[in-house]
Structure 1
Amino acid sequence: MQGVEDTPRQEEQMVQMTREEFRRLMEETGKSALVAYERRTATPLAKDVTRRRLFKEKEIEEDCKR
């Protein structure tokens, strides 16, 4: 049965974004998920090392784009 949805959509506005905006959103979401996971599972030292590594890589990427 093609074309029929199991759950009807509510009237919502569609949000459009560029590929670059979508990429950044996904990257930030992934980093947030990793940081949250580390908070729940890692020792204090491991948390600090992971956070530094994540955000240092981001700074290096931004510097390379300039």
Structure 2
Amino acid sequence: MFSGVETDVCVLAGVLDAVDLGFAVTVATDAVASSDPTAHEAVLNHMLPRLAQQVRLTTAAEIVAAA
């Protein structure tokens, strides 16, 4: 599961590295943020959905409920 700051930089880089290594990735969309709201939204709404087979977008509450 990924959470963190700078969705469009650090989080995205970590997610892409994990995908490249063959991991299935979950991003807690309410536990990531960025200093640039436009870039943050672009990653969550456009970039990561293109990786839907490897990346699951969900909320922290949904992750906890599934545990």
- Asked if these proteins are the same fold (TM beyond 0.5), I'd say no
Instruction: Give 1 or 2: higher helix fraction.
Output: 1
Which one has a bigger Cα radius of gyration?
1
TM-score of the superposed pair, with normalisation by structure 2: 0.31
TM-score of the superposed pair, with normalisation by structure 1: 0.31
Instruction: Give 1 or 2: higher strand fraction.
Output: 2
If asked which structure has higher relative contact order (CA below 8 Å, sep 6+), I would say 2
